[in-house]
Structure formats: structure tokens, C-alpha cells
Structure 1
Amino acid sequence: MSPRQKVLIVDDEPDIRELLEITLGRMKLDTFSARNLGEAQALLGRETFDLCLTDMRLPDGTGLELVQHIQQRYPQVPVAMITAYGSLETAINALKAGAFDFLTKPVDLTRLRELVTSALRLPAPGGASTAIDRRLLGESLPMRNLRKQIDKLARSQAPVYISGESGSGKELVARLIHEQGPRAGRPFIPVNCGAIPSELMESEFFGHRKGSFSGAIEDNPGLFQAAHGGTLFLDEVADLPLAMQVKLLRAIQEKAVRAVGGQQETVVDVRILCATHKDLDAEVSAERFRQDLYYRLNVIELRVPPLRERRDDIETLANHVLKRLAAGTGHPAAKLHPQALEALKSYRFPGNVRELENMLERAHTLCENKQIEAGDLRLAEGNCAAEAGVPDLTRIDNLEDYLENVERKLILQALEETRWNRTAAAQRLNLSFRSMRYRLKKLGLD
């Protein structure tokens, strides 16, 4: 018979402590209670706990202090914060500090049981590393840091904003966060927000009732309902129209949705992960994205590095892609000529890993004798990092014209990589928007 799991309850209100003790006792869990921060820290030093539930306000400190104490000394113990109703900022601060999740007062017992069950399914810290290593290739420092962050975020229920350029692997990162966490056995529902027609968005997200509009011939659950108990991944979230952003914000805050044509709200338990290649800060500044929704989604930001920031991984990635292309053909994988590998390492890869895969698939088809030469890669001219080196002075007739040409190339490249978002391009080049606008006008690019 396995020992019962232990939960630490920290609250100065006897009624709340008793309610939690009774509810968790019926779940066959052992409970230990503390009235303040000092008692909680003493109990943590004496006992090994599987979960901690703490109130935000304590007589001798705050729940945030307890979260930080546990994160530093007992990182294997998930912590859930209990906050006053409507204290969204407090809850977000708790999630940023490392809390697993939060509850609001008055405590909903169904929600409490779901949270406790989910928290107790968490793997040990670092336990997901092997699986992440197999899926997320590369031993460069940016990739090692990314894997550590995924492992940590998988142990939380905090909304995560995954930022990164197109083709850098944002959806893979979202899947890994889901698969290594307590929702792993539940649905992972990815949705490209830019691919849904605006007039169908509400129905797609929240579902509809039969007869609610022309063509609604039967009840249809939406994406939130499909993801119940699991994770909803909102890709290209910056493409949502403002009207839909308002409805999405309400669904996230209330944890409930109302189908088109429906009268009742349906409670949904969904973790939200989102991503976009756009600069969400710039979208908020330009008033194309609601600031309140931005703060709700961007509780924790996880940046996926572009391929050009981890060139040491290119050889590993390339060999993996070539082995995959050869799998099932009965032939050995093609090899990269040393010059081809050097060409790849000096290329900027505006399309990141996706571009590398497409490039190698084409080269694999075109190469002779199972060896990929530099010419087989068909790299775009003018997009190699080597061009950023010291120029040949004998070829410069006019320094001013040369510098203007370099400036034009860099600005065009930044614009192309940000899909001609001038604010985002200016930030990428570390320019003010006013300076960017002046340069565009000077170079005839406005």
C-alpha cells in the first residue's frame, strides 16, 4: 500500500483551513495546516510535501514570500495561491513567481479538486529533460536554456506567450510544454488565428447551437470545449480582430464560454499558450492589440531563438533532416560537403528551421552521388552572414554611396523579417521609430 500524499495548507482563517482539510481528506490526502508564514516554513523543514495551498495574505508576510521560499528550497513542491476574488494582478504575480496555479475566494470545491488532482500528477523537476532533448535538437547555449525553461514551465499552469520568428519552432515548444506537464493525457488543440475568417471566429472558438445562423444544422462544440482539460495553443494570436480579442479576454478571465445562439455558459478548464512572429509590444502600441488581453496572455514570455543565433546547431539539425529524408528509401542518407556546411553556417536563415528543412529536401533531390555540394543548396545571394565582414576597399569608389547601400540592405532585411512592420523593424535595428521613418524617407523606401 503506497503512502498517502501530503498537502500543506497555509491560511489564518480557521473556516478556510477546515474546509480545505475536509475536502482534501475525502480525496484520501493527508493535510498539515499552518496559520502563518513562520509555521509554514517550519513544517516545510520537517515534512516532505507533495503540494502547498497558501492564502495570499498572512499575518506575518505574504503568500508570494512563501512561493519564493519554496521555489528556492523545495522546487519539487507545486504551490497554488488562494486570492481574493478579482485580484487578477495578485494571481499573475504569483504565477510569475513560480506558483503552479491559483484559486479565488470563495473557493469553488470542484475547481479545487481539479487543481489538486492536476498538481499531484506533475513529474519531478528535470524528469522531462530526456524527452525534450530528443525533440528539441541542439547543444548551443540558447537551446540548453530553452530546454530548461520548457521543463520549468511544464510544471506551471501559467499562460505563456511564445515569441519568435516564423519557422523557429514555436508550435513544437508549445507541444513540449503541454506533453511534459500534468495535462499531457488531455487534448492539445493548435489553432492558427490568422486562418479563420473573422465572421466564423466566434463560432469556431466557442461553438454554436443548431439554427443559430444559416448553415448551423446541428450543435457544434468550439475549440475551447475541444481543449477542455488540456491546452489551447493560439498561434499568430496578433492576427485576431479587436472584436474577437474582447470575447477571448472574457472567456479566459471567466473560464467559461457561451456558444453562439446559446443561453447558458459552459465552464471550461483550459491552459492557454499563444505565439506570434509579430512584436506584440509594438502591436499594443499601435492599438491593434488590446493591452488588457496582452497582460493576460503574456504572464510569462518564452523566446525561441532564431537559427542564426545558434549556428553551432546547424550541423546537428542538417544531419537529422537528411537521415529523416533517407528513412524508408533503403538508401543511406546524403552527406554534406564541408563547403556546403560552411555555406549553411554563414547563411542568415530568415525562414529559420523550416527554411533549412525545405532547403535540404530540395538539395537531397538534386545532389549527385549522395553528396550535397554548396551549389545544390541554392542559397539566396546577398543573405550570407559573411557579407557583414570587412569589405574589399579596392572595390569602394564612393564611401557615402557604399554606406547608404549597406544601410538600405539592412533596413530592407529587417522589414522583410518583420513582414514590413516598421515599428518591429526599428526595434530590431535598435532605432527609434522617428529615426526609422527618417531613414526610410531618405533612402526612398517609404
Structure 2
Amino acid sequence: MNKAHALVVDDEADILDLLKITLARMDVQATTAMSVGAAKHELEGGRFDLCLTDMNLPDGNGIDLVRFIAEHHPDLPIAMITAHGSMESAVAAMKAGAFDFVPKPVDLQLLRRLVGSALKLRTHGKGGGADGQQESGSLLLGDSPKVEEVRRLIAKLARNQAPVFITGESGTGKELAARLIHAQGPRAEGNFVAVNCGAIPQDLVESELFGHRKGSFTGAVSDKEGLFQAAEGGTLFLDEVADLPLPAQVKLLRAIQEKSVRPVGAQQELAVDVRIISASHRDLNSEVEKGRFRQDLFYRINVIEMRMPALREHPQDILVLASRMMERIAREHPERGDMKLSDEAVAALGRHLFPGNVRELENVLERATALCDGAMIGPEDLYLPQSETETQVAAEPQADPEVPLEDYLGEIERRAILKALDETRWNRTAAAKKLGMTLRALRYRLAKLGIE
């Protein structure tokens, strides 16, 4: 492979010299520029594998350069060198398309890791990600436009190191999406460490995330590595991040900003190179409004938001998912024999709205294969509740000449709003979106209809 070539942009000559020396020791050739204009000129005539740029430049700022490269050289990873403590600049740069950031004063160890990750994209982005794509094709099943869009976004996010926040109802596959982002990116060789934040006892959150030193608290009989250290060089997936207690949110915020952690009982911080992907089925905007989630932390982890669609939004994929799940169940439980879904069972699955999403579909099929007496699974073996369509028809209010029209329409509106709230677990923002109205309009309707 040809020698890697980096474009380094900074208006301070001593910084340029330091970066050139560091890159040379990594066998990376460096071309320097001291302004946005000079950098654009170099980009016109040269081929680069990485760009490092300072934020403040004489004729503009680094974000201008980030946007230019994102538009004209989308395959070129660009990293921002930010002032100490200026996380807002780092977040703005990553929202504009930056690959990652490194704070000043430049930690050369962090810089080398960043450069190493960026250079892996030379091979990963040109065929090296095939395994990840294959994994995506085999695990993220479905042919619908919704699933295709998720696949495209995963491939795009895999080339970036910005924090990703994955939203979606329970059972939609948020952890699967996080694993695929990891598998298709330059950190694929590193660890993928997943943790359910709601499952950690509150008094142990800090120790679990950052580790602890022997004797730092009762029961700490030896040094323990935290999840950040376990994910070194890889990805840390914080599932149900909304469940983190506020004190732990403060520590997490610092770890993301400083790219370092301090184990409980330790005197010094440890540099960590970890990509953060977080997820929650709850509306973090609402949690912030209620004071249960720090706004500054939400700002840091929500650099890029990705939504996993509910299964009822792509029902055409139910049969594809069910077929693959049936194959897996047959492999894991050969004693059950080769079982098939009848046409009536397939139709029943298609009518069901699956409030528990893909996880519910899997549970339904597990139960059906275990309880079915024959080789053909019928709708009665699925034990589905009465279909939502039948329930709605049965419960639809009938027009009564004795009832005022306004009351009749109000009852229909009440049912529609309650259904949307129920489907979104009483997430008012999501319910308003589902109903095609603003949150303010929904609040007005709730007050008028007396719905608490």
C-alpha cells in the first residue's frame, strides 16, 4: 500500500511542526497549510487520506473547511483540533461532518489513535467493510424502504466517530444497529461493549463505567477495570441511557469531553479511546424538560440521531423476519421438527400491530413452535390477541341522532389520541408526530378533552 498522506491545517508553525513529526513517526507524509484558502488549493491538486485542521484560521474557521470537504471530498476523513474545554466547537464540527476531534493541548497518544482509525478507512471503506455489509444484510432483515434507509444510514455512520443516539420503541433492534455501526467501521477489530444503564445499581454506576481502585470503598477488594477501559479502541453502547442517575451523568459528560476517565479512588485520569453509541426508548427531550436528564449531556451524545422504525411501519418485512426466525428455531430445537406457518397464520401476523416489535414477533414464534401439536402452525397457535383492526371496528362509536355531532366527533378524536398515546407509551412528542399535529396543538386537545 502507498504511504498515507495527510493534510494538516493550522496557523501556528510550531503546531504544524509537532504534527508533522508525529505523523512522520507513523510513516504518514504530511502536507501543511496555514489557512482555509491554502487548504482548498492543496485539495485541488493532491490526494489525501486524512485532514487535520484547527478551528481558528486567518480566513475562516475549521468548520468551513469541514463543510467544503464533506461536499467536495466526502470520502476524506477530517478531524478537528479544538481549544481545551471547547466541546461546543467539537460537536458543531462533527455535526458538519468531521470524523472526530482532538483537544488542545494535543495529546499525542490520542492523536495517534485518531490517525490510526482514520487510516483504516482507506481499506475499510474500499472493500474492507464487506464483512460488515454482509453482516448487515444477514442480520438487519427486510426489503422495505424503511429498512433500506436504516442500512444506508448505518453504512454512513460507520465511517464517522461522532456519538450516535439511537431512538425507537423497545424491541426495534437498537443494539443490533449499534453493533452493525461498529462492525462496518474502522473500530471493528476493537471490542463492542454493551451495557443496560437501567440494570446497574445506582451506587455502582460509577465503578461499572470507570472502574475502581482496591480499597476505594467497602467491597473493593481489588482493582477493577471499568467498561470504558474494556471498550478501549472499540465502541461502548449505553442502552437505556435515560436511566443513568444525575451524578453519573456528570461523570459521563466529563469522560466524553476530556476523552479520559478517573477510576473510583484513583488520583489521575486515564486517557480512553472509545466511540459512544447510546440508545433509549424514552424521549430524552422530555426527560430534559422534566429535569431528569442533563441538557448538556444530551447535546454531547445526540450529535447524530438515528431512529429505528417500529415493525408496524414496515409490515411487509414480517414474513421475511418470521422465515429467518423459524430457521433459527429449527436449528436450535431440532426436536421440534421442521415447522411451517400456514397461510392463515401468516395473514394473522400481518394484521397484528406488534407493540413489542421484532422482539415480540420472535417471542410469538418461539411460543408457537413449542406449543403447536403438528408441523403446521395455524393462527390459533400464535395466541395473538384480537386484531387491533377488529377491536377498533367493534369499538367504533356509532352515530346517534340523539347525540350532538360535536360530542360524537369529540369521542372519535378522543379515541384517536388515546390510541396514539398508547402506541407511543404516552410520549406526547411522538404521539403528536403520529397524529400529524404540533406538540402544542396536542396539549390543547388533551386539555379540552380532559385527558390527563
Tell whether 2:242 aligns with 1:234. Answer: no
CA distance in 1, matches of 2:126, 2:28: 22
SS in 1 for 2:219: coil
SS in 2 for 1:248: helix
Q: Under a length normalisation based on structure 1, what TM-score does the superposition of the two structures give? A: 0.90
In the alignment, which of 185, 188, 192 is matched to residue 189 of structure 2? Answer: 185
SS in 1 for 2:388: coil
The structure with the largest helix share of the pair is 2
Cα deviations across residues 19-56 of structure 1 (Å, max 9, x unaligned)? 21111111111122223223322322322211111222
Cα deviations across residues 321-366 of structure 1 (Å, max 9, x unaligned)? 1111112517764332223222222221110000010011112233
CA distance in 1, matches of 2:257, 2:8: 25
Identity across matched positions, percent: 56
How far does residue 107 in structure 1 lie from its aligned partner after superposition?
1.8
Tell me the residue number matched to 1:314. 318
Tell me the residue number matched to 2:341. 336
CA distance in 2, matches of 1:321, 1:221: 37
CA distance in 2, matches of 1:261, 1:11: 39
Tell me the residue number matched to 1:380. 385
CA distance in 1, matches of 2:126, 2:307: 21
Tell me the residue number matched to 1:79. 78
Amino acid at match of 1:18: D
Task: Identify unmatched segments of 5+ residues in structure 2.
Answer: none
The 8 Å contact of residues 154 and 177 in structure 1, kept in 2 or not, is answered as yes
Tell me the residue number matched to 1:5. 4
How far does residue 206 in structure 1 lie from its aligned partner after superposition?
1.8
The 8 Å contact of residues 125 and 152 in structure 1, kept in 2 or not, is answered as no
How far does residue 383 in structure 1 lie from its aligned partner after superposition?
2.7
Sort the Cα spacing of 1:202 and 1:75 in 2 relative to 1 into closer, same or farther, 3 A: same
CA distance in 2, matches of 1:125, 1:413: 47
CA distance in 1, matches of 2:148, 2:393: 28
Alignment of structure 1 residues 189-338 onto 2, 5 Å: 189-327=193-331, 329=334, 333-338=338-343
Most deviating of 151-160 and 8-17: 8-17
Amino acid at match of 1:435: Y
CA RMSD after TM alignment: 2.7
Amino acid at match of 1:82: I
CA distance in 2, matches of 1:213, 1:415: 44
CA distance in 2, matches of 1:177, 1:113: 22
How far does residue 233 in structure 1 lie from its aligned partner after superposition?
0.9
Amino acid at match of 2:247: A
Tell me the residue number matched to 1:441. 450
CA distance in 1, matches of 2:49, 2:410: 62
Tell me the residue number matched to 2:40. 41
Alignment of structure 1 residues 362-373 onto 2, 5 Å: 362-373=367-378
How far does residue 13 in structure 1 lie from its aligned partner after superposition?
2.4
In the alignment, which of 333, 342, 356 is matched to residue 351 of structure 1? Answer: 356
Alignment of structure 1 residues 98-113 onto 2, 5 Å: 98-113=97-112
The 8 Å contact of residues 168 and 304 in structure 1, kept in 2 or not, is answered as yes
Sort the Cα spacing of 1:344 and 1:440 in 2 relative to 1 into closer, same or farther, 3 A: farther
How far does residue 397 in structure 1 lie from its aligned partner after superposition?
5.1
How far does residue 70 in structure 1 lie from its aligned partner after superposition?
2.1
Q: Under a length normalisation based on structure 2, what TM-score does the superposition of the two structures give? A: 0.89
CA distance in 1, matches of 2:356, 2:408: 27
SS in 2 for 1:190: strand
How far does residue 92 in structure 1 lie from its aligned partner after superposition?
0.7
Alignment of structure 1 residues 415-434 onto 2, 5 Å: 415-420=421-426, 425=431, 428-429=434-435, 430=437, 431-432=439-440, 434=443
SS in 1 for 2:53: strand
SS in 2 for 1:357: helix
